[in-house]
Each structure stands twice: as C-alpha cells, then as structure tokens.
Chains A and B, each alone.
Chain A
C-alpha cells in the first residue's frame, strides 16, 4: 500500500484512540489482588506512533520494553526497584539498561542510592564493550554523587526529586483526589535533571476498548525537558499505560515475545542492507 494512503490520527493518543486506530486490541484487566506498595512486577511494551493510523507503511512500531520489579523491605526505610529497559534501535542495535534503585519510602519514591549499567548489543548479537557504562549513584543533601571508573563526580540538585522509573511506582500510591497535584524535580534515567515537574490528578475517564467501556483514572505531568505525560490507572491503582505524545508504555505480559519479533525484524533489515 502506498504511503499516500496513510491516514493521520488527527487527535492525541489515549487508550481509546489507540484502540480506535487499530493499534490496541485488548487492554489488561484489573487484578483485584494488586497492592501498589507490595511486591510486584509490571512489564510495559514501549510503542511509538508516527502519527498515522494502522497501515503497512505507518512506521508505527514497538520500540522497547520496560520491566519494573518492586521489592519491599519491611526492616529498612527504603524499598527496591529493579529496572530493565531495552531499546530496539533501527537495524537491530539493542541498548539494555539495568538499574537497581533504593527508594525512600516517601510519596515520590525518591531515589537514595542506585546502580545502573548501560550496554549495547550489535545487530549480530555481539556486545559493544566500548559503549558500556556502569556507575553507582547516591543523593546526599541535594548533591548527587556518581562513582564510575574509579572516579567520583558531584552535581548539585534540588529536591524533592524522583526518577522517571520511580515515578511509575510512586504515582500508584497517590490518592485519587480531583485536582490534587504533586510538584517535584525529575532525574530522568538517573542522569538528566529536569526540574519543575507537576503531576495532577484529572479524574476518572471512560475508555472504550472495542465494545467494552473501562473507567480509568488519569494523571497529567507537565514540566521542563519533557513532553506532557498522561498516566492511566485502574481502580486498583495499577498503572496500565503512560502516554507522552507519540511514545506509549502499555502494560503487556506478552511484551517479551513482541520484542523478540521486533529485534529479529530489525536484524533482518540489517542483514539485507549488509548483503547490498
């Protein structure tokens, strides 16, 4: 089908819109046993929209996977988030980020200490060692201390502070109060400081998935260095989707399989070009 046949989405992405444009067939059903401040694992498929409805040439595609594991520790004043985020670049270069974050038991899950690694796997499945990074970080008195390769770096920050991954946890513990908001600074990817963030509860909205109507809770986040985020949660406070313009995180237990397919697809692109 020619590219000229592509149809613009026309209006911002929401769970209903994703279903309407043919990019979301089903939405995970609420688990009644879900406890936001307990032990849990959530797996998000990260999907990108090129602005067109479903079409063979839409260029919409699955871009990665985010896995967040929450582990409680009753004896400590912190809990742990284990993060695995894979990004599938065009032609199959894979960026794998792993982080272990020790978060304060506060309303923002403020990161206290962490370890983070980033590594790249090339299209022929080989590690690219010259691109790997590994560091330890901690925050003390508004100073971030990073230790890597035998060196130490200090950067001043302002609090209250959370990370984008911690926020996925923290907003599941926020009460659903109309118009209430939380202000904070963001340490995106445990690296990039993005201040003046505001998270606001927008109430309950009807979300239509095929013939079913779900009532989901929506939070909006606006702030420096980001495009607006919209978070969609069920009554159990489980974060089902995070949508920021053309970038979508959707809870998806099948995300691993989808990612394997996408990696293979991109690697095939690479091999075809290599042959040329």
Chain B
C-alpha cells in the first residue's frame, strides 16, 4: 500500500512542477504552441458485473430466447466485443483478473475463496489513490468472502445475499440507485455493481436434478429453446472435461431432451431478471444526470454450459463456459452500436483500459492491453493471443485468431479446434497429423506466455506450465 502512496506523491510532484512551468511560461510561449491536445477523461466509471452470464444472452446481440431491454440499450450505446473470454471460468479466479489486470495464477486466486495477493492493487485501490475517484462497491466480491464489507480500496454500500441473487440483487441495485440519486456531481465516482444472477441457475439445477415425466408448466412445451447444434460433442476430450460432465446434474438425473430444453429455458429467466436490475441502475444514472459523464463497462466472470457439449455450469475450456459479454460505453466518446467480432479480449484488459481512459498509468505487469486505441479504430493487425487458465491451475486454453488449443496437466489428450470452420468446437483436430505444426506452434505460444508470468507462491504446479 505504501508503494502506491509513494507513487502518488511522485505523480503529484510532477503535476505541480508541470503546472508551475505552464504558469511561468504563459507569457513567453503562445498558448497554441504550448497547449497539449485536450485529453477527455470520464468523470465517473461504472463497472457492472454479472455472475455466470454467457455471451449469447442479449436480445440485441441476436439471442432469440430472452428480452433484455437494459442490456440492449447499453449495447446500442457502446462497443460489444464478441471474442471476449473469462480469464478462468470460475468465480473468484476470474474476478481476481477483472479487478487487477493480472492472471489468476499471478493473483494467487487459483480456486474460489482466496484473497488477491497483497502486493497487487485492485481497481478500487488504484483509482482512489491514483485518480481520486470515490470508489464504491455493491454486491458479490468473492475475494475471498462472497459478500464482504471489507474490500480493500472500496467503500461497500451493500453486500447482497450469498447464493440468492434472485432476492439479494434487488437490494444491490437499490443501493446503487440510492447512491446515484444522492451523489454530488462534484465528486467523481467509480462504482462497481456486482450482481449474483444468473448464477442462481446452480440452485435451479439442484432443484431440478431429477428428470420428471412431464413438464411442470405444460404451456411451455412449444416455447422451449431447441438443443444447441453442438449438443453432441467429440468424445476425444481430456479426462478433466469428461469427469465434469459425469458429475453434474443431467448425468445424475439422466435427463431427456425435454429436461435439457427446460433447463435452457430456465437459464434465460434469471438473465431477464438481472437485466431489469441493471436497468434500474442505468435509469438512475440517466435520471440524475450522470449518463454523459460515465464510462460503463459490462461483463461477467464466466459463462454457462447451456447444454452445449452436454454441459451445465462452468469451469470448462469450451466457449459456453469461457466466453462472456464485454460491452464498453461512454456517450460521445466511444462509438455507438458497434460490434467487434475479431479482437480477442478478456477481463485482463479492464484495468489497463480504464487506466488509459482515466489518463493514469496502470499498475506494473499488466497482462492485458488497453482497448482504447482499438475502440477509437486506431489499431493495426498485431498478432492476437489470449490464455484462459483453469481451476486449481490444472489446465490452459489458448486462443489465437483462428484456433483454440486446450491442454491439461498429466493428460495426454489435447484439444485443437478450428474456430473459423468449427465455432461449436465439435471436431478435435489435435490427433490429426495434418495439424501437427499448428499444435506445436500453440504449445510454444503457451510456453512463452507462461514464462512472462510472476506466479504467486501459493499456486500449485507452476513449474509444469513453464516447462510444458
């Protein structure tokens, strides 16, 4: 913590010297010569996080099974990244990356319920100390406590109710609404609204494990979403993935097609619910004059199986579990209603992007990148690469522009998918000799990526990934 304070003092010193020089030089240089281009910076920042929301759950994004007026509106007011991945598709590890810009192996949060390594600052610490924002937090934290009033760098305005987003999220959004209605415009704020939904699908699964003979609401029969195209999968999978499928509710309850489809229908309901709660926050932002001054980021910690590959819940490298929404909006500053289908982005990019917009340096060793230039349409064709870690540091998923490579510790079965021709990940190409060069290339990319990391001491199997 002292290091941040010292850094701030140095920055303040530089600012004071700079200002003094500007005053002194006012009479010598003309303003046009000396003036730097005006840097717009958002007065306020709002980070909205949901829990377990797959990317394909927004009506305006093309999902026909939900009504999401609030997210539709947000999407139309900003840029949506479609190749957006969780850094580790399980709650705490993914959140540790969103809040620090570091991988979960670096933050030390390799499973749920661990704290972020103490020498890595989170968004609240950084933005309150480096940029003077009033940093407030409402909702789920999970680093380590699911709901905590003691979050470093943040003033907690409400917690929520653990595992009960369907009720607790209401008072989370009410707290945010209250804050926005009463907040003095003179003080910039950085608000995190962290909702639990649609995570309650986990409760739904435990309450619907058994396969009933009849649909509980018979009038839904014609309204259930179809099974996804990749319901059937390539069985050449790592053992970890197979094990996850064997242990979850559909396997226990021996689900038939109707129960699978009812589960899909049921997953979209908490999406609609949380959309309304997000809508309450966005409405307060608009009604009380903060909308034009606020940069908004919306994302989720991880996705949901949704019957793709016959999976439920998260924690697998498949896209349904790993891909998450990522929308960024700032009226008048970020293009509106734009969809980016090419760039690979992740939770690692949030810290550097927000720092860039706030005109402050990011903390050291950022593993993501600022998306600001990309959002301004100023990027070239730099090579793209993204890594998703897996729980307990047991596996890795590496995405390049065209391929997805998956490997697990102590498992000879690797996966390689051509995401251009097989976006549903139904044909594992790893065992096909024609793709050996690509496989080798991806192994090397992963190894090189691993070697740059400053992995936390508590994380197991670190050497495996460096040497792999």
User: Contact check: which of A49, A89, A133, A225 meets B158 at CB < 8 Å?
Assistant: A89
Nearest-neighbour CB distance to chain B for A141, whole angstroms, equals 21
User: Contact check: which of B149, B157, B208, B266 meets A91 at CB < 8 Å?
Assistant: B149
Find out whether the CB atom of B207 lies under 8 angstroms from the CB atom of A91.
no
For A188, list chain B residues within 8 Å (CB). 276
Find out whether the CB atom of B163 lies under 8 angstroms from the CB atom of A59.
yes
CA distance A247 to B179 in the complex (A): 27
For B170, list chain A residues within 8 Å (CB). 87, 189
Q: Which of B205, B206, B219 has the most CB of A within 10 A?
A: B206
**Closest Cβ neighbor of B172 among chain A residues:** A89
Find out whether the CB atom of A245 lies under 8 angstroms from the CB atom of B203.
yes
CA distance A151 to B147 in the complex (A): 34
Interface of B is mostly: helix
User: Contact check: which of A9, A123, A189, A273 meets B207 at CB < 8 Å?
Assistant: A9
CA distance A150 to B200 in the complex (A): 38
CA distance A77 to B200 in the complex (A): 41
Are A120 and B209 also in contact (CB < 8 A) when A87-B168, A130-B178 are? Answer: no
**Closest Cβ neighbor of A132 among chain B residues:** B178
Find out whether the CB atom of A48 lies under 8 angstroms from the CB atom of B217.
no
Find out whether the CB atom of B164 lies under 8 angstroms from the CB atom of A118.
no
**Closest Cβ neighbor of B139 among chain A residues:** A89
Find out whether the CB atom of B150 lies under 8 angstroms from the CB atom of A273.
yes
Find out whether the CB atom of A90 lies under 8 angstroms from the CB atom of B147.
yes
Nearest-neighbour CB distance to chain A for B262, whole angstroms, equals 11
For B270, list chain A residues within 8 Å (CB). 227
For A247, list chain B residues within 8 Å (CB). 164, 166-167
CA distance A129 to B287 in the complex (A): 19
CA distance A274 to B150 in the complex (A): 8
User: Contact check: which of B168, B208, B210 meets A63 at CB < 8 Å?
Assistant: B168
Does B250 count as interface, using CB distance less than 8 angstroms? no
Are A194 and B160 also in contact (CB < 8 A) when A93-B149, A227-B166, A245-B204 are? Answer: no
Q: How many residue pairs bridge A and B at CB < 8 Å?
A: 169
For A120, list chain B residues within 8 Å (CB). 157-158, 171, 175, 178
Nearest-neighbour CB distance to chain B for A255, whole angstroms, equals 15
Does A220 count as interface, using CB distance less than 8 angstroms? yes
Does A163 count as interface, using CB distance less than 8 angstroms? no
Find out whether the CB atom of B149 lies under 8 angstroms from the CB atom of A123.
yes
For B147, list chain A residues within 8 Å (CB). 89-91
Find out whether the CB atom of B206 lies under 8 angstroms from the CB atom of A52.
yes
Contact with B along A48-92 (1 / 0, CB 8 A): 111110000001010110000000000000000000000111110
Does B269 count as interface, using CB distance less than 8 angstroms? yes
Are A50 and B163 also in contact (CB < 8 A) when A131-B178, A133-B178 are? Answer: yes
Nearest-neighbour CB distance to chain A for B37, whole angstroms, equals 37
Are A226 and B203 also in contact (CB < 8 A) when A8-B209, A89-B147, A220-B217 are? Answer: no
For A118, list chain B residues within 8 Å (CB). 174, 177-178
For B269, list chain A residues within 8 Å (CB). 226-228
Find out whether the CB atom of A133 lies under 8 angstroms from the CB atom of B163.
no
Does A191 count as interface, using CB distance less than 8 angstroms? yes
Does A180 count as interface, using CB distance less than 8 angstroms? no
CA distance A191 to B157 in the complex (A): 21
**Closest Cβ neighbor of B181 among chain A residues:** A133
Does B323 count as interface, using CB distance less than 8 angstroms? no
Interface size class of B (residues with CB under 8 A): 35 or more
Does A12 count as interface, using CB distance less than 8 angstroms? yes
Nearest-neighbour CB distance to chain B for A158, whole angstroms, equals 13
Does A128 count as interface, using CB distance less than 8 angstroms? yes
CA distance A132 to B253 in the complex (A): 46
Find out whether the CB atom of A91 lies under 8 angstroms from the CB atom of B171.
no
For A88, list chain B residues within 8 Å (CB). 161
For B220, list chain A residues within 8 Å (CB). 222
Nearest-neighbour CB distance to chain A for B225, whole angstroms, equals 15
For B203, list chain A residues within 8 Å (CB). 49-51, 245-246
Does A148 count as interface, using CB distance less than 8 angstroms? yes
Nearest-neighbour CB distance to chain B for A258, whole angstroms, equals 15
**Closest Cβ neighbor of A195 among chain B residues:** B67
Does A192 count as interface, using CB distance less than 8 angstroms? yes
User: Contact check: which of B166, B217, B276 meets A222 at CB < 8 Å?
Assistant: B217
Find out whether the CB atom of A270 lies under 8 angstroms from the CB atom of B149.
yes
Does B273 count as interface, using CB distance less than 8 angstroms? yes
Are A246 and B207 also in contact (CB < 8 A) when A90-B146, A95-B158, A131-B175 are? Answer: yes
For A130, list chain B residues within 8 Å (CB). 157, 178-179, 182-183
CA distance A226 to B270 in the complex (A): 7
CA distance A8 to B210 in the complex (A): 10
For B212, list chain A residues within 8 Å (CB). 11
Find out whether the CB atom of A228 lies under 8 angstroms from the CB atom of B217.
yes
Does A239 count as interface, using CB distance less than 8 angstroms? no
Does B148 count as interface, using CB distance less than 8 angstroms? yes
Does A13 count as interface, using CB distance less than 8 angstroms? yes
Interface positions of A from 103 to 158, Cβ below 8 Å from B: 118, 120, 123, 128-133, 148-149, 151, 153
Does A224 count as interface, using CB distance less than 8 angstroms? yes
For B164, list chain A residues within 8 Å (CB). 48, 50, 61, 63, 246-247
Does B61 count as interface, using CB distance less than 8 angstroms? no
Find out whether the CB atom of A89 lies under 8 angstroms from the CB atom of B161.
yes
**Closest Cβ neighbor of A129 among chain B residues:** B182
User: Contact check: which of B177, B181, B183, B207 meets A10 at CB < 8 Å?
Assistant: B207
27 contacts between A and B (CB under 8 A): A9-B207, A10-B206, A10-B210, A50-B164, A59-B163, A61-B161, A63-B161, A63-B167, A63-B168, A87-B161, A87-B170, A89-B161, A90-B161, A90-B162, A120-B157, A123-B149, A130-B183, A131-B158, A131-B182, A200-B219, A226-B269, A227-B269, A245-B166, A246-B203, A247-B166, A273-B145, A273-B148
Which B positions have Cβ atoms within 8 angstroms of A?
Answer: 67, 145-150, 157-164, 166-168, 170-171, 174-175, 177-179, 181-183, 200, 202-210, 212, 216-217, 219-220, 249, 253, 266, 269-270, 272-273, 275-277, 279-280, 287
Inter-chain pairs besides A120-B158, A222-B220, A273-B149, 18 sampled, C-beta below 8 Å: A48-B164, A63-B161, A63-B168, A64-B167, A87-B167, A87-B168, A89-B171, A90-B146, A90-B168, A123-B149, A130-B178, A131-B157, A133-B181, A149-B181, A153-B287, A220-B217, A225-B67, A246-B200
- 5 tightest CB-CB pairs across the interface, nearest first? A51-B206, A131-B178, A90-B147, A95-B171, A48-B164
